[in-house]
């Protein structure tokens, strides 16, 4: 390739994206086999536990989606799959909240990791919305009551004009298509940011003149 053509290619969006990806998230960062020595606490397992729970939610949710929203009322197998979905959601939130509190006390937004925190926060809000629509599409007494009560909240601020909690069709589509897509996308961005930016170093790691020690001498394990 001539230098002239090479320079022209560098102006392409595709080339720019590739260059930026290679610079910020090389494969060594995406799939690391070493981590800083401070990554040694149980609190670090709650992020991956949240992701694993999300995996079970998606798997059990797909089965429920294929069988239809009323299947689990009529079939023992259906009720079991619904139970898998139910408990994976409960665990998902427990793990995510612990993960979130852990990251708060670590002040994990430090070191230009603001977007990592923000995408995590948006993922939490999107998860609440997704779970809420899930409770609305249970097609049982609980979902009847939740939709009856929740309509007042959404109507009170005008949102109910378009987001109709009493419309099963709308809520089902939002629960199985739109909201999981949003949540999935944000989760992927969040995880990629974690990998690209690395795990935040301990508070005070660079205070008291220790910065030089910590970030200039690499001692292999």
Partner 1 sequence: MRRQELAELESAPWTGRTRRYDLVKEGVVACLVITVAVVALATFFGSPDDAQITFKKWAISAPSDFYTTTVHELAGTSESAGYGAPYNTASVGVNLGPLYLARLAGVTHPVDTVNDFVIRPLSAFNDTPKIAAGLALWRSADSKTQIDWASNYETALAKADQDPTKVSTGSYGPVPELASGLVAMAKSGLLDGVLLSQGNYFQNDNTKQTLFLGDGKYFNDQSTAAHLQGDTWGMMNETGRYPGQAWLWLYSFWYQISPFNNGDNHPIGANADAYIMVIMGLLSLGLVLMPLIPGVRSLPRKIPIHRLIWRHYYQEENL
| Given 61, 71, 99, 117, the residue binding partner 1 (CB under 8 A) | 117
Q: Quick one: CA torsion of 165, 158, 174, 77, rounded to 10 degrees?
A: -20
**Site membership for partner 1, residue 132 (CB under 8 A):** yes
Provide, rounded to whole angstroms, the least separation between the CB of residue 64 and partner 1. Answer: 11
Provide, rounded to whole angstroms, the least separation between the CB of residue 126 and partner 1. Answer: 10
Whose structure tokens read 């080339």? 15
- Near partner 1 in 23-82, by CB under 8 A: 31-41, 43, 45, 48-49, 51-53, 55-56, 72-73, 79-80, 82
| Given 58, 84, 98, 189, the residue binding partner 1 (CB under 8 A) | 84
**Site membership for partner 1, residue 149 (CB under 8 A):** yes
**Site membership for partner 1, residue 128 (CB under 8 A):** yes
Measured in whole angstroms, the distance separating CA 62 from the mean position of its chain's CA atoms is 18
Q: Do 98 and 47 touch, CB atoms closer than 8 A?
A: no
| Angle between helix 3-10 and helix 13-24 axes, rounded to 10 deg | 80
**Site membership for partner 1, residue 200 (CB under 8 A):** yes
Half-sphere exposure of 4 (CA within 13 A, CB side): 0
């Amino acid at each position: 390739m001539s230098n002239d053509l090479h320079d022209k290619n560098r102006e392409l969006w595709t080339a720019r994206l590739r260059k930026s990806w290679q610079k910020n998230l090389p494969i060594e960062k995406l799939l690391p086999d070493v981590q800083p020595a401070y990554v040694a606490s149980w609190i670090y397992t709650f992020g991956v536990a949240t992701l694993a729970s999300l995996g079970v939610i998606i798997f059990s949710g797909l089965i429920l989606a294929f069988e239809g929203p009323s299947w689990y009322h009529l079939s023992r197998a259906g009720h079991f799959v619904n139970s898998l979905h139910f408990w994976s959601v409960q665990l998902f939130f427990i793990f995510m909240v612990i993960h979130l509190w852990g990251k708060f006390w670590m002040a994990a937004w430090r070191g230009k990791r603001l977007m990592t925190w923000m995408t995590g926060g948006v993922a939490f809000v999107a998860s609440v919305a997704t779970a809420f629509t899930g409770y609305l599409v249970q097609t049982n007494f609980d979902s009847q009551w939740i939709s009856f009560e929740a309509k007042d909240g959404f109507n009170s601020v005008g949102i109910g004009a378009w987001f109709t909690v009493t419309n099963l069709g709308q809520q089902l589509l939002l629960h199985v298509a739109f909201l999981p897509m949003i949540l999935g996308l944000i989760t992927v961005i969040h995880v990629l940011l974690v990998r690209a930016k690395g795990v935040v170093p301990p508070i005070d790691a660079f205070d008291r003149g220790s910065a030089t020690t910590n970030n200039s001498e690499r001692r292999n394990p």
